[in-house]
Chains A and B, each alone.
Chain A
Amino acid sequence: DAKTTQPTSMDCAEGRAANLPCNHSTISGNEYVYWYRQIHSQGPQYIIHGLKNNETNEMASLIITEDRKSSTLILPHATLRDTAVYYCIVRSLRSTNAGKSTFGDGTTLTVKP
């Protein structure tokens, strides 16, 4: 799986949009971009994923650049409960390595009142 690079930490004001960047310049054509977040003392929680098109769900939006070398997770109206560590991972579904995901250390997002 390709490696990802994320900023160590970010702050966001409550009610504003949080834009979390991720660089995955070595991504290959069959690898998806996934975002998870982990709130203290809990397991990671799936947020969203995409292959090449932008995606939106009830939690967030995912913007993937045309060359697929980077992406941005957007939380449109951040709340205090969105304070967490956010992980961007790339993951291949080829049968030989479908199980392995490299999480890295993620971005610690702090939403401030």
Chain B
Amino acid sequence: GAGVSQSPRYKVAKRGQDVALRCDPISGHVSLFWYQQALGQGPEFLTYFQNEAQLDKSGLPSDRFFAERPEGSVSTLKIQRTQQEDSAVYLCASSQPLQGVGEKLFFGSGTQLSVL
């Protein structure tokens, strides 16, 4: 597609419910990133994939958060037993690293998760 697509755009969950957020990166992009953005703050790194390999998951706040990218394209961020503090916008970004000339991140519009 033309850009990074995320779905759903909005998600309302009851506390304790499991949710799954989807990211469709730009076709051919090797790298994929997930960020969490609380209201009024900048995006916070969660995890990073290079193709299907999850190279960095140091930003995942707890073991309730899990991300996968099994075929190296679409990625899913899953949050189990959601809590109110999980309410945030979840952003996905993809990129095609260009050695020696830097790398641009292309972001989706995000999924706004509200946990009641």
A residues lining the B interface (CB < 8 Å): 32, 34, 36, 41-46, 49-51, 85, 87, 91, 93, 97-106
Contact = CB atoms under 8 A, between A and B. Distances in A.
A51 B101 CA distance: 9
Contacts of B102: 32, 34, 49-51, 93
A51 B48 CA distance: 23
Interface residues of B, number: 30
Contacts of B103: 91, 93, 98
Which of A32, A44, A91: most chain B CB closer than 10 A?
A44
Given A44-B43, A99-B48, 5 more contacts: A32-B102, A43-B109, A46-B104, A99-B31, A101-B33
B105 A46 contact: yes
B58 interface: yes
